[in-house]
Structure 1
């Protein structure tokens, strides 16, 4: 039979098989909100009625600026299942970027966490498409605001019935819009459809990937505005798993550990900095996380010692790779029995790979002329992808991709394991040979005295470019640039070892938390190599 793959099918499935399963939210005021999938989807029907009452157009873009909580979860269903487009906006972006994104998307309504109201008030006059402003709070919590006719989310829902006739939607209908962080130029919109969301969730839930079950309790530390918390608002209900939404305080490791323990979290998702914070808290406090068995680490490469430390805490970290344009997951490194020997160099190397492609995701690497390169684990080229959940074109752009060029440099081994070695714009070309900045950073981060490290290519009079290592050292460590470079001597090819190392108090970061290598390259454009290393 031909049945449409729509987000509505996820909602109906979860209502049937997991109606009593909980969604738990940690709120800004430290309160815990607790209800079931049945409760959530009843409120989604009220919200869908409210969207109609606001007279939003049939394919309206509806913007959100919010953390991970139950109201944001409801928007992820009511908006697309009513036929409209849920546009998640990263409130941590620069103000000019937020202004551009809302204008480019043409959002008709904005649903805003109260803490972000001042931000939107400052640009309200420059957002002509927005007709409705809704604060994600109760009427009693509604602050005074200059936004015209600002209403509270709860009063909006209270006026509506709990019955709604969900429309039958074409699976190719647009469902969600998320913008890239725009490290070069303006952010670009990635428009997903119902079919892509469902297929992405099904691929994630295969046993060789994330593989959630109804016995899991899932806590995404990554925000919903980072490509739907890496898919979890859809993937977890699809599996009938309990969902724990941590709110705004994800960087508070103590709170997160308490939440893991109180709710029995079994699986979590976070970037390396958040996992590192949890690891440090566990080490210093002596606390445990007995229920947490697995977690995915993504967004950037983690240091091997972080994986080993979390192993000792009983948590198996598994790499995931993806990007906004892939909705977002492209590959996953599920740790199998045959990979358990991480004490060997081969085992550690396997652990740090980005994993095998999800079913449905095609990968290839190509040279500068577009020729395919072998999957032998040695050949390195630009990574290109194809998948039902990869964007065919950016929002508002006419040019469509046959294969999407990720901008990553990678290898693929004979078993299909992907290893990201650099970004095309970050790779260092020294004397005609490529040097991977990521590989150097991974080795440097294994040193216990290093808190943060980055490698950039800097102009060199003889070699065209050479790697410069910049380090934020741990406090109270007996460390020097000379000792760091000596530490690298037997761990990297000799010609890869940076020509110099500089200690800095902090590194610049983008709005999404990644180290801004572009800013560093600009800052060190005229760097003077030490005389002894200039030749």
Structure 2
């Protein structure tokens, strides 16, 4: 029998601090200026931070929250918090404040680590009530900025109290290591807790995928938010492999992405689909020649990248663009896309079609398609059904949430997506169960927007649905039935009304006035019909078919 050695994140750190102590972690501080240190320095600071957390009284299982961008201090928290058997709870910076407050309270975070730009946000959360938080730590250089938060420490001040010789404890690999919440697509966000075992397993699998090629000679730029699903586990994989890792820091702009690739000779990136379009648009509009030829691999996720973007990178920089399919509950990878050697001789158009699917299941991941009665459907490329998954790194429940009973079906997780699987095992996503809109890699709830619009005094009915968008993949459009044709709410009025309750990026791009929302035979809003109108003739087809003359 084999040794029962536990799969802990600190095991990855043990390897790297011994094998790759001189490899680098680089963070952009501002355009063209970087902070740089080694994995050896990183490990010492992680141990000091873990020691300091213990002295603060952090207990096993306790949730410690972060409101932070991608940078080296946030990465240190990835290891120090779970290293003392606490839970690193990364909080989505883009959620609406009410959702963030719900998340902090539901998780019962005891400490919040935050970037300087998040101070006003957290001060507002405190005013509205986050009673479980007993300590705030601001990640800043120099003196603490002025704040009403109390008690408050600076990150470096806290670090000074720790011991860099701190020894990490041993415990079960099934202990919680990290936590994040889904993007509140319908109702309140749902908490997903990641075990040490699950993260380590997917990290190892990520490092072995041949199309990513994540090895010690890489310079990998982590663009996907670290607050979302452990940054897709790429930070862990880079550390395990000894690859140099690059973080873009606080509020990166288009030029920061492009200049950092050029300055640091970045070889690989993982990012939302919108980032690929943003880089392309910036480079093509710039009068300057940008040498991004070092970029071998661009992994675009959140939704499928367009063929136009994939071809532009291939033709301009010989960069291979790949994608996968995943969600928070599976840590996040369910599938990854690559063309098997047995399919290499397929016609070019067929290969492109495959590259734009979700790909084939990740190792140790099982996937099935079932119909509305729970019967498994064949892998024939045409039988559409609900996508169910199970794996050692897929969530078995949501954190303290009764919605678990609707998500777990006979030991399988219902992803909420609709699709089919072809005979070669490629998953083809067709639609989303609840008409969710995925914009820039983030989910938007059409139902929440509809309910808000219909609470406007001048609105009788409203239907919100997705339309294709090259930059953001999808954007919401609202069809509004006014209570009176003579008293239409203006578009600015509707946007301002929604802006009271939703983040700006949730707001519809267009408002179309219609006579009646199309409905199915059972009285539900028929968004399929609305989408088919757009497919036939764009938004003007909706206006021509069921629209009122636009006003305001």
Task: Give the TM-score, by structure 2 length.
Answer: 0.79
> CA separation in 1, counterparts of 2:398 and 2:209?
31
Structure 1 residues 453 and 52: CA distance shift in structure 2, 3 A: closer
The match for 2:386 is 382
The separation in 2 between residues aligned to 1:169 and 1:73, in whole angstroms, is 22
- Structure 2 residue 306 is matched with structure 1 residue 248: no
- CA drift of 1:267 comes to 0.8
Distance 2:326 2:260 in 1: 27
2:82 aligned partner: 80
Deviates more, 1:32-41 or 1:419-428: 419-428
Segments of structure 2 that go 5 or more residues without pairing to the other structure are 438-464, 480-516
**Would the alpha carbon gap of residues 527 and 115 (structure 1) be closer, same or farther in structure 2, given more than 3 Å must change?**
farther
Q: 2:135 aligns with which of 132, 135, 142?
A: 132
Over 3 Å counting, the alpha-carbon distance change for 1:90 and 1:443 in structure 2 is closer
Q: Following superposition of structure 1 onto structure 2, how do residues 262-411 of structure 1 map, counting pairs within 5 Å? A: 262-285=263-286, 286-313=289-316, 314-335=318-339, 344-397=348-401, 399=404, 401=408, 402-411=411-420
Q: Superposition pairs for residues 75-474 of structure 1, below 5 Å?
A: 75-125=77-127, 126-140=129-143, 142-208=144-210, 210-250=212-252, 252-285=253-286, 286-313=289-316, 314-335=318-339, 344-397=348-401, 399=404, 401=408, 402-426=411-435, 459-460=517-518, 465=526, 467=528
Q: In the TM superposition, what whole-angstrom CA distance separates every residue of 1:218-274 from its partner, at most 9, and x where no partner exists?
A: 111111001111111211111211100111334x22211111122121110111111
Q: Counterpart of 2:546 in 1: which secondary structure?
A: coil
Deviation of 1:88 (Å): 0.2
Contact 1:469/1:501 (CA < 8 Å) preserved in 2?
Answer: no
* Aligned positions of 1:57-76 closer than 5 A: 57-76=59-78
SS class of match (2:278)? helix
* Corresponding position: 1:32 with 2:54: no
Evaluate the alpha carbon distance shift between residue 52 and residue 527 of structure 1 in structure 2; reply closer, same or farther with a 3 A threshold.
farther
* 1:501 and 2:538 correspond: yes
Q: Following TM superposition, where does structure 1 have runs of at least 4 consecutive aligned residues deviating by more than 4 angstroms?
A: 335-343, 441-446, 450-459, 461-464, 466-470
Partner residue, 1:432 = none
8 Å CA contact retained: 2:338, 2:355: no
Look up the SS of the partner of 1:498 in the other structure: helix
Q: TM-score, normalised to structure 1's length?
A: 0.82
Aligned CA distance change for structure 1 residues 452 and 228 (closer, same or farther; 3 Å): closer
Distance 1:462 1:139 in 2: 61
**Backbone CA RMSD of aligned residues:** 2.9
Work out whether residues 467 and 499 of structure 1, in 8 Å CA contact, stay in contact via their aligned partners in 2. no
- The C-alpha deviation readout for 1:301-336, integer Å capped at 9, x for no partner, is 222111111111221110111111111111111356
Aligned to 2:513: none
- Decide which of 12, 15, 18 is 1:16's aligned counterpart: 18
For residue 231 of structure 1, give the secondary structure of its aligned residue in structure 2.
helix
Find the aligned partners of 1:254 and 1:339 in 2 and give their Cα distance: 38
Contact 1:381–1:409 (CA<8 Å) still a contact in 2? yes
**Matched residue of 1:289: which SS?**
coil
